[in-house]
Chains A and B, each alone.
Chain A
């Protein structure tokens, strides 16, 4: 008898399981139309609004490692400070705060983001570094991205202008090798022009390659060592800021 009741219990249990499994499913298509990186995009849009309200002009510097982002910024920060402008910089690196210490010598506000292996900066990393800064009191913020011509392409940081740096030591065809990054930038800055002759860099070819992947892109030719081209670059940034804020 006990065997039979056990069996009946078992059958009941199977019925119960069957019932829960009998859920019928409907398959349907759900339209999304949303950027894959929409979370970063939204955060960046929020930052951009915040910067705009504060009257702060923001430049994002991208390049391969060693193209001279820090050397260029050292000069630009110092010269802007000398002209009475309030400037700040956030610098990203995988390791060390060497760059932040170099940039801080200009007297500008500087903070380091150590990404601990991450190959680019994202909007939330930048947002976290702005705490305690009076953005209203600042005129320019420079973001020195992690040296990498691939990944920083996709991550909007709320900047007004993206500068892609390219040194004369890297070869004239770099823009052709990294067309996506060059295409995503607004302005190209050729660096280390004092070494152009020694590297036998064909600047005409370099300019043509930049324009091949990004027609009409504004190009500055600079040397952080001699200071060549820096007044033009700084004048451009000031003009962009004036165009946006009218002062």
Chain B
């Protein structure tokens, strides 16, 4: 259940960024998850609710974008997406592809935050 510690790191990073931006609340977190990241999506979603409890992210939604493995095929001279992660042969010509272009992502793309409108209701600096 390593997804819980990954969720905890995710929450820590997102909360830090949210605080720096003066956010009151985080409503959505956008995550890019590569097929080669090795993270189980369902387990991560499950862990997310636990990890966000009591933080600025409580009640927020985790939006996951699946990123397929993309390799560069020397023979076809182009980047191709692989259907799985157990066979690194080019699906077009069958050549083994060494160069991985995408698919390792475990990255927070961005967050949706709520910021108090300071002009409408000025807050003293703390």
A residues neighboring B (CB under 8 Å): 22-40, 119-120, 150-151, 153-154, 176, 179-181, 183, 211-216
Contacts and interface: CB of A to CB of B under 8 A. Distances in A.
B119 to A, nearest CB: 9
B109 A32 contact: yes
Nearest to A22: B121
B19 to A, nearest CB: 11
A65 B24 CA distance: 45
Nearest to B6: A36
A214 B88 contact: yes
B38 A36 contact: no
A153 B117 contact: no
Given A26-B114, A26-B117, A180-B85, A39 B13 contact: yes
Interface in B72-126: 85-89, 96-98, 100, 106-117, 120-121
B88 A150 contact: no
A154 B13 contact: no
Interface string B1-34: 0100010011011100110010111010001000
Given A154-B38, A183-B36, A34 B120 contact: no
B55 interface: no
A32 B111 contact: yes
A150 B38 contact: yes
Interface residues of B, number: 41
A23 B120 contact: yes
Interface of B: 2, 6, 9-10, 12-14, 17-18, 21, 23-25, 27, 31, 36-38, 85-89, 96-98, 100, 106-117, 120-121
B120 to A, nearest CB: 5
B72 to A, nearest CB: 11
Given A37-B9, A180-B36, A30 B114 contact: no
A141 B37 CA distance: 27
Contacts of A151: 2
B110 A176 contact: no
Contact of B10 (A28, A36, A216): A36
Given A28-B112, A31-B110, A34-B108, A215 B85 contact: no
Contact of B13 (A22, A38, A176): A38
